[in-house]
Structure 1
Amino acid sequence: MEIGIGTFAGKASRLAHSPRDASATRRDGLAPGSVAAPPATRPPANAVPTRPGNARPAQPAIPYLKWRFVRLVRRVPVLKRLVAQTDMRLPGVAYAADPKIDRIVFICGLHRSGTTLLEDYIHAHYHVSHLRADVPESEGQHLQDVYSEDRRFGGPGRFAFSAAMRREVAKLATSRTPRERILRSWQRYVVGRSSTLLEKSPPNLTKIAWLRATFPGARFIVMVRDPRAVAAATLKWTRSPVEHLVEHWHTAHALAHAEFDPRDTCVVRYEDFCIDPEAALAATPIGEWMEPRDEPLASAGRFATLKNSNDRYIAGQEQRRYGRGIWDRFGYSI
């Protein structure tokens, strides 16, 4: 699917450089001409059943508490650099002794968009190294001290609204050595022998231009999923109503869309990926960016079977219409 730069690029650019606060950004998150959504209501209880399968796999108590402690201490500038040396490696994992990273492939996508599923599949089918650590989903954002984690800016369903996040990215653009600092931080958590590192963190979606400038030669895979499904699936982590979460989807993807470059960026739709992952990736230049494995590795147990779970998240939202938005550019009419 070809994604062109058009109507929303200017709006996203204004959002990216606006000094307005997060609430102001949220208020104009939907594109001009959008139809107002009905009053905020959560989906019926039976639309998104609560069960263990909906939650992230339980983490050992001690490593999780250690990660929480690291996050708190990182807020103290004097201790921030010391915390960067905290070892979050997993026991029993064969880490690379002296990894040499020549290129990074960034997976970009909001929470609950299928980015972890995509990372697992790519690692199983292509020669890439990846990060593994006792932090949520082994995301690189938690393993460095150059830029802030998404939770500082509101966390899932809110961080893309943050003007403070955009100011931080603008300030980072003047930093001299962010690449070296980030790679040094990630180095101890690299698993694999490939010089291509696969990294995924939700905030990647809102800082593609900065990552491109910081890591020359980087590639970007944007994973998208129906905004309604992403919104409903994110409810467990936020008190924001579904309508605000759909606006957040628009805002985050408008920022990303404004920074698309077809020479290094491609899009994978969750819905297409679940139907036929091989065909979905074959329609992108991913095969040119990474060398396929002769024999695929085994996928993680929770990803052994691909299943599109959109229906149960969208149930109860069929009557809501959001009108025009950046989602139109990705093939979603909602």
Structure 2
Amino acid sequence: MNTPISKKINIQKVDKSRIDQVDFDKLVFGNVFSDHMFECDFKDGVWQNPTIKAYGPLTISPAAKVFHYGQAVFEGMKAFKDEEDKVWLFRPDQNAKRINKSAARLAIPEFPEDLFFEALTTLVSMDREWVRKGPGNSLYIRPFVFATQAGVGASPSTEYKFMILMSPAQAYYTGDIQVEIAEHYSRSANGGVGAAKAAGNYAAQFFPTNLARERGFQQIIWTDASTHEYLEEAGTMNVFFRVNDTLLTAPISDRILDGVTRKSVIDLAKRDNIAVEERRVLVSEIVEAAKNGSLKEIFGAGTAAVISPISAFSFQNKTYEIEKQEDSFAAKFKKELTDIQRNLSEDPFGWRFEVV
């Protein structure tokens, strides 16, 4: 799965790389960025002036509508380097489709998929030295789009900027995490923007997550806004529950993000003959499973974290510990996923995309 790179992007290459200034052994997730970035503007009804240039600050009006009405969506994806110095993306077609789905929900014009792939592959190829080999290493890629029209009238913007930034990364979470099941706050509601990667979704999570952290938990498992009886997502990840040897996860809806890692885990489970149920999962059934010993695992799945085991959860001020499993599904899926991503195993699904 390769795409040719045409010459329609204006490329302004840096004179000297900043890579020698980076300590790749002490990275903080999302704080260091590669030499180049991509930007493209939507004006007069068309996307125009696609450019790759040196990473740096923007000049933008304080009246830009993104600041006032929150028209901003983003994606998260990664590039990996194998032992032969080949660079790979993982299911980038899904990110291209999802950012446009998110954009449509926020009345943002869709970005051409062919230009998305051209910009993405050109940018990664130019900064391929920022992709480091080895377990846990990757280049995190952040495509995003936001409203730039100056004006505080409450209407959709007529101008936007689409950008791609890239940041060398190591593991997002180290070790197991403990979570609190939400009983009051909600991530999203029916008919809302929960299925979109809207910037405001994450802003609204910060306050309740901070409250959970004050009580000793790293993340929240969100419940439905109507009754708080059904489990939905875990923090910035989709969430899976292993009850005996069956994997349970909430179905995709207008409240729940269609995660790329989520759907990959489901495909791997089906290939490995592991029973998967995509259905509404009651808080009460997971609490009961924890009490009777049939709850074997809970883990989050997302691009940044890949697979994150959850060692305990709290509900109604009671904490339930989850015993480590020798035949951990979380460990199994993480290895299978990362082996495909890093070209260490066969890719029967056609998920890998080589950047040439």
Comparing both structures, which one devotes a greater share of its residues to helix? Answer: 1
Report which structure shows greater RCO (CA 8 Å, sep ≥6): 1
TM-score category, normalised to shorter length: under 0.3
Comparing both structures, which one devotes a greater share of its residues to strand? Answer: 2
